[in-house]
Amino acid sequence: MSDDTGFAFELETDSLSDSLGRFLPRRSLYIVTGNIGAGKSLISQRIAFGLVSNDVRTTVISTELTTRGWLEQVNSLGYPLEDAANSGKFTLLSRFGVVSDEVEGHVDIEEILSSEALQHADISIIDRASMILQHYEGTPEKLLSRLRTFCAEERSLMLLLDPDEISEEMMRTLYSSAEVAIEMRTSEIGGGLSRILAVTRFLRAAGPVQPRIGWRVEPTMGFIVDITAVS
């Protein structure tokens, strides 16, 4: 469900939305950064399921998994989206297609933004966008202008970025201009792995925003806010 406040992504199974502004702002650019294995895909899958569960029209583009593999992965987390995909309430696209036939050549960001699936979605998530943007031939400012035009038309866009895949200038331009900027961090503490969702910007929040959210993921239970890891 969406209103003038933003897009709801609340689930009864976790308290993420209570710690992350309650709603995602409308007409906005969201940036999620982190190295491989930091949890970018996991947080985007949790958010996608939360959006669909709240009747927000959502499209996900995966550059890493087939559509079947993506749906199987989220189902293992307790986020079943296959019925929503089959009914048209949720759209999933992959450069690998359904099984493993990779689309030849580079996928262009303009082609993606112009696709019908993104045109009709309230929120679109590109995982991971840095794999696509590393082939972008324009300036970071030109790219930002195109993304702003896309978001101005009652749409929002979430880009998952690996900082090792794009230039520092492009990363800095996108990160500093987004309404929501999140960094996925990991560290080893006492022989275990600590995962932190660090919020560096969240404009037009409808509720409290916790700057550091500790989390973990459990099979069939999905994303869990770890209060012992919050700093």
Average pLDDT, stretch 38-59?
Answer: 97
The per-residue pLDDT for 99 is 41
Half-sphere exposure of 175 (CA within 13 A, CB side): 19
The per-residue pLDDT for 189 is 73
Q: Which residues touch 94 (CB under 8 Å, ≥6 apart)? A: 61, 62, 63, 65, 66, 67, 70
- For residue 100, pLDDT over 60 is answered with no
Q: How confident is the model at residue 102 (pLDDT cuts 50, 70, 90)?
A: very low
Average pLDDT, stretch 66-88?
Answer: 94
Q: Which residue has the higher pLDDT, 65 or 197?
A: 197
pLDDT tens digits along 145-190:
999 999 998 899 999 999 999 999 999 999 999 999 999 999 877 7
Architecture of domain 16-195+202-224: 3-Layer(aba) Sandwich (3.40)
Q: How large a percentage of the chain has pLDDT more than 70? A: 91
Q: Is 141 helix (H, G, I), strand (E, B) or coil?
A: helix
- For residue 113, pLDDT over 60 is answered with yes
Retrieve residue 48's tokens: 């996608």
Q: How large a percentage of the chain has pLDDT more than 90? A: 80
List the single range of 10-14, 92-96, 215-219 with lowest mean pLDDT. 92-96
Average pLDDT, stretch 75-81?
Answer: 96
Phi-psi region of 127 (alpha: psi -120 to 50; beta: other; left: phi over 0): beta
In the chain, where are the structural domains located? 16-195+202-224
- For residue 219, pLDDT over 70 is answered with yes
